[in-house]
Amino acid sequence: MAILPIIKYPKEILRKTAEPISEISEEIVTLATNMAETMYDAPGIGLAAPQVGVSKRLFVIDLGKDENEEKKSELLTFINPQIIESRGKMKYEEGCLSIPEIREYVERPSWVKVKALSISGQEFELEAEGLLAICIQHELDHLNGVLFIDYLKGLKKKLIAKKLMAFENIK
Ligand code: K1U
Ligand code: ZN
C-alpha cells in the first residue's frame, strides 16, 4: 500500500475527461487500494483517480462514521460510474483535496441513483442522498474535468479568483 501525491489545481490532468476502465486488472486494484489509503491519510471523504495523476474513471468514497456512530465507516469504490437518475436540490459547503483551503457552497441534486462496477467487477446500483449524493457528484465531476469552483458565479467567483491566482503562480 502507498500514499500517493495529490495533484493540485491548476494542473492540466484535473481538466481532462478520464478514460473508461476496460479491465479490472491487478494494476487497477492496487490503484484503488492506494487511493483509499491516500484519502484516509489526507484526510478526505472522497478521491478520484485524476487527483492522483491517473486519467481513469474510478473514484473512492468513505464518509466515515456519522456523529451518533449509528452508521459505520464504509469504503465505496466506483468504476465507470454513471448517474442514471437525480432529483431535489441542496446546498453544501464543498472542499477539494486538489484545491486546499477553499470551501464554498455549491447547489446540486440532493438524491442520485448511480450505476457502476465494484472493484470485483460486479455491476451495482446505489441510491444516495445528502452528503453521499453530493460526494458522488463531486467525484464524478473530477472524471469529467469539472471542479466545484466551476459552479461559482458572480461575486463569489470574483472573490475566490484571487486565491486561485496564488495557486496558478506556484504551478
Ligand atoms: O474529491 C475531493 O477533492 C475530496 C473532497 C470530497 C468532498 C468534500 C466535500 C463535499 C464534496 C466532496 C474532500 O474530501 S475535501 C475534505 C473534506 O471535506 C473532509 C475531510 C475530513 C473529514 C471530513 C471532510
Ligand atoms: Zn475534489
CATH number for position 95:
3.90.45.10
Atom of ligand 1 nearest to the CA of 142: 1
Residue 2 lies in a domain: no
Residue 3 lies in a domain: no
Residue 5 lies in a domain: no
* CA-proximal residue: ligand 1, atom 16 (nearest): 44
Q: Does 45 contact ligand 1 (Cβ within 6 A)?
A: yes
Residue by residue, pLDDT tens for the chain (171 residues) are: 899 999 999 999 999 999 999 999 999 999 999 999 999 999 999 999 999 999 999 999 999 987 777 778 999 999 999 999 999 999 999 999 999 999 999 999 999 999 999 999 999 999 999 999 999 999 999 999 999 999 999 988 898 988 898 887 766
Q: Is 12 a catalytic residue?
A: no
Q: How distant, in Å, are the alpha carbons of 23, 26, 79 from that of 124?
A: 16, 20, 10
| Three-class HEC string of 88-149 | CCEEEEECCCCCCCCCEEEEECCEEEEEEECCCCCEEEEEEECHHHHHHHHHHHHHCCCCHH
Per the structure, the count of domains in the chain is 1
Q: Does 143 contact ligand 1 (Cβ within 6 A)?
A: no
Q: Does 136 contact ligand 1 (Cβ within 6 A)?
A: no
Classified as helix, coil or strand, 74 is coil
For the chain, give percent helix, strand, coil, nearest 5.
Answer: 35, 25, 40
Partner residues linked to 19 by β-bridges:
56
Ligand nearest to the CA of 62: 1
Residue 140 lies in a domain: yes
Q: Which residues contact 26 (CB under 8 A, 6 or more apart)?
A: none
Which of 38, 39, 45 has most ligand 1 atoms within 8 Å of its beta carbon, as the pocket-test mutant?
45
| Residue given cell 468504476 in the structure block | 79
pLDDT at 171: 60
Give the distance (Å) from ligand 1 centre to CA of residue 26: 27
Domain that holds residue 104: 12-170
Q: How far apart are CA 118 and CA 1, in angstroms?
A: 19
Q: Does 38 contact ligand 1 (Cβ within 6 A)?
A: no
Q: What backbone torsions phi and psi does residue 106 show, to the nearest 5 degrees?
A: -130, 140
Residue 84 lies in a domain: yes
Q: Does 94 contact ligand 1 (Cβ within 6 A)?
A: yes
Whole-prediction pTM = 0.96
